[in-house]
Chains A and B, each alone.
Chain A
Amino acid sequence: MYRAGVTAVAENLKESPLQSVHRAAGARLIPFGGWLMPLQYQDILEEHRAVRDRAGLFDVSHMGEILVLGPGAACLLQGLLTNNALLMEEGQVIYSPMCDDDGGVLDDLLVYRLGCEEYMVVVNAANTARDLNRFRSRAGEGVEIRDLSGRLALLALQGPLSEGILSALAGPALPGCYRFARLKLAGVECIVSRTGYTGEDGFELYLEAGAAPLVWNALMEEGEGRGLVPAGLGARDTLRFEASLPLYGRELNEKTTPLEAGLGRFVKLDKGPFSGRDALVKQAREGLSRRLAGLSMVDRGIPRAQCPVLAGGRTAGAVTSGGYAPTLNARLALAYLPPEMAPGDRVAVLIRGKECGALVVPLPFYKRRV
């Protein structure tokens, strides 16, 4: 039950540039995607609530950043991603799945159009090496791929008070939703984008790794009086789960298509050829055999990943993420189920061999009031 915290530098784990800041703040560190990252600084529930009610500051420097440069950059991205990279303006961010030829999701990522022929792609830590290989192997003449992953820090300032805290340091001209700007914080140039993974308003800040402690401390100093707290990957997971944002490795993997995951609005089947298009066109035409659905427990018990879901006494699917949702005070699960199942339908989740009743509910579980 009790596991001693990882206190020594474990073998082969990369360390965030904020490691000493985290240790000083009493963070519990865990290996995640090849990195040693903060799981929590205090209680996960407290951090979760702080982000919903006030603001939280996350270190997500484990994310990979890949620069795609040159006259062929846009075309390369257009051929690899399901979303439309050609429509991007400078200063814009888009979310996109990246699929293999069968339509299976290889990764889900953000694309930043930094300049005319300059894009930054932000990928999941555990997939960075594979993504880099894919980009490099597909890059023809006129495209340069550069890995910035070790050199950049990524901070996420999330929660309703984020805007006020950030504007106190960076001025009032902050980017709008899915836009970014180059702003100076504590004298440090940052790419500030209005994106996040919590279901709240918020910002993600990319900056040179060495300057990360300075910017982190400036944000904490500015925000502490307003209730800003450092938050770890534990709260990041409960927040994204409650907001029904998919996590690679749980809701998304090579055996799942973005259409099944409910990400159809990020799949532009009519934009021209791209990896996985034929398979996805076929799936869209023939219909889905399963689809990501939300469940809310009626009976006692907490559903966890891989618990089977039964409908009419037969296995209908399995839970991909499950747990207690603090803001909603409910026990919820994301699960792949036959597409005909609809909100209100009764199912059972098999938890440690026991059938526990649950209801299919609409997604997302949580949506912030705007």
Chain B
Amino acid sequence: MVPEGLLYSADHEWVRVDGKICRVGVTHPAQEAMGSVVFIELPEAGIKVAAGEFLGVLESVKAASEYYAPVAGRVLAVNGELRESPGLINEDPYGRGWILEMEPDDPADLDGLLTPRGYMDLLAGGEK
């Protein structure tokens, strides 16, 4: 389940570009690997982050997993619905389970992300 029309990071975040704004979440294979998400720590809107920087933590039944900024930029908004319903990340990872919206410092940075094809190759290769 790697939809077309999105970009992907090697850390298993997806990015949906809409003009200047990027919506970010975690991918279906990632949520499947984590299992039921029972808690999420969200960043504060307004903060500036570097590419690959720590954004927050997803807690599944098994363990805590961190998620990272796919590109450098500013966090504009977070999905507050996840505070009450973190399970949306499992149920609808590319839809209602979105985590945050950010504005990239430089839209050209998005070129460094993976295409669906590239992300599937990453999955097929496993993690080294």
Contacts and interface: CB of A to CB of B under 8 A. Distances in A.
A302 B39 contact: yes
27 contacts: A1-B11, A1-B12, A1-B26, A1-B30, A2-B12, A2-B27, A2-B30, A2-B33, A3-B33, A4-B126, A4-B127, A43-B36, A44-B62, A45-B35, A48-B61, A238-B61, A300-B41, A301-B39, A301-B41, A302-B38, A302-B39, A302-B64, A304-B63, A304-B64, A324-B38, A324-B39, A352-B41
Query: Contact residue range for chain A?
Result: 20 to 34
A324 B33 contact: no
Contacts of B59: 302, 324
A331 interface: yes
B37 to A, nearest CB: 10
Contacts of A48: 61
Given A302-B59, A302-B64, A331 B39 contact: yes
A45 B39 contact: no
A264 interface: no
A90 B63 CA distance: 42
Interface in B1-56: 11-12, 26-27, 29-30, 33-36, 38-39, 41
A366 to B, nearest CB: 15
Contacts of B57: 352
Contacts of B58: 1
Interface in B114-128: 123, 126-127
Interface string A13-48: 000000000000000000000000001100111001
Contacts of A39: 62
Contacts of A352: 41, 57
A326 interface: yes
B15 to A, nearest CB: 15
A224 to B, nearest CB: 23
B34 to A, nearest CB: 7
Contacts of B126: 4
Contacts of B34: 1-2
Nearest to B64: A304
Interface of B: 11-12, 26-27, 29-30, 33-36, 38-39, 41, 57-59, 61-67, 123, 126-127
B53 to A, nearest CB: 15
A323 interface: yes
A300 B56 CA distance: 14
Contact of A2 (B36, B41, B62, B127): B127
A43 B35 contact: yes
Which of B35, B65, B66 has the most chain A CB atoms closer than 10 A to its own CB?
B35
Interface string A330-360: 0100000000000000000000100000000
By Cβ-Cβ distance, the 8 closest A-B pairs, closest first, are A4-B126, A324-B38, A1-B65, A2-B30, A302-B59, A45-B36, A2-B12, A44-B61
Contacts of B26: 1
A72 interface: no
A175 interface: no
A324 B66 contact: no
Interface in A36-70: 39-40, 43-45, 48
A234 B127 contact: no
Given A234-B62, A304-B64, A324-B38, 19 more contacts: A1-B11, A1-B33, A1-B65, A1-B67, A2-B12, A2-B27, A2-B127, A4-B127, A43-B35, A43-B36, A44-B61, A234-B35, A234-B61, A300-B39, A302-B38, A302-B59, A324-B59, A331-B39, A352-B41
B126 to A, nearest CB: 4
A74 to B, nearest CB: 41
A44 B30 contact: no
Contacts of A323: 61
